[in-house]
Amino acid sequence: MKIEILGPGCAKCQKTSQEVEKVAKQLGIDAVIDHVTDITTIVNRGVLFTPAVFIDGEKKIEGKVPKASDIEKWFKK
């Protein structure tokens, strides 16, 4: 599973990263987590508001920190 967290490294982006990593670890998910901070790349992916989370190329959330319960649902699909 490939997880991408897109954002410039702001506090919300860092919190998103922490939450995603925590839930992945709790569920025993084998995932590669990439942090995309390049603004051009972020915009080219269609993201207008950060943070954004992509799982296997599919955008799951944009512009807010996801709740742990939402992250769990993404992993269980």
CATH of the domain at 53: 3.40.30.10
Give pLDDT tens digits for 12-51.
Answer: 999 999 999 999 999 999 899 999 999 999 999 999 999 9
Total count of domains within the chain: 1
pLDDT at 55: 96
Each as own residue / partner, the long-range contacts of residues 61-66 (CB below 8 Å, 24 or more positions apart, any chain) are 64/12, 65/12, 65/15, 65/16, 65/19, 66/16, 66/19, 66/20
Q: 2-6 and 58-62 as β-strands: parallel, antiparallel, unpaired? A: unpaired
Residue 54: give the domain boundaries: 2-76
Does 77 score more than 80 pLDDT?
A: no
Active-site residues: which are they? 10, 13
User: pTM surpassing 0.85?
Assistant: yes
Indicate the helix (H) or strand (E) that contains 52.
strand 52-55
